[in-house]
Homo-oligomer: A and B are copies of this chain.
């Protein structure tokens, strides 16, 4: 597993923020709040958490074209955005947010694999900082966060189990799995994909076990930055 570093409060103007570094992968996660909810939640006394994801064009070894210039988001970006939002909603009591939307922006400065899982892990810290501040100001009455949540990838590379895949490993992996887990060790999301060859039950079990080990370590880092329950 690569070295991880979480810098809470990396941005001055965001309500909450975190720079997460996993080896050479660096992602800025930021939280903004809006006093409104999407139309399907209007009048239900609940809040919402939604995420947007982007990569700086120069974050990768080959420049990747700016989605703002192309005028449309790729399928990959949309998939990642939905994943981040779903993962964070899974550990938050939406009623306690009030009728507000929390935007999680994950922007990749440098990409060496694992940007989507880093966005979940770092996004949690940014969201927790935002909630700490809102509780301190009396805007939130109580703590809406129920548990930690973090994510990592595992895979089979050249037939061997591998944790926290960097770009080079990821592009050669036969199987690639993203796992998102809470502090209490329960799964929020499990996404295993055969790239080269299909996998069997035993391989699935080994990958899950390794992923859990990695996530426990990531949550250990989160605990240094954020103490639950928030108050």
Contact = CB atoms under 8 A, between A and B. Distances in A.
Copies in the complex: 6
A75 interface: yes
Chain A, interface size category, equals 35 or more
A95 interface: no
Interface in A154-196: 177, 181-182, 184-194
A28 B199 CA distance: 29
Given A32-B58, A52-B69, A56-B30, A187 B204 contact: yes
Given A66-B68, A82-B75, A57 B105 contact: yes
Contact of A72 (B30, B56, B72, B208): B72
Contact of A56 (B61, B107, B110): B107
Contacts of A197: 186
Interface of A: 11-14, 17, 24, 28, 30-32, 34, 52, 54, 56-61, 63, 66-69, 71-79, 81-82, 86, 90, 103, 105, 107, 109-111, 177, 181-182, 184-194, 197-201, 204, 208
Contacts of A73: 68-69, 75
Contacts of A61: 13
Nearest to A75: B78
B110 A11 contact: yes
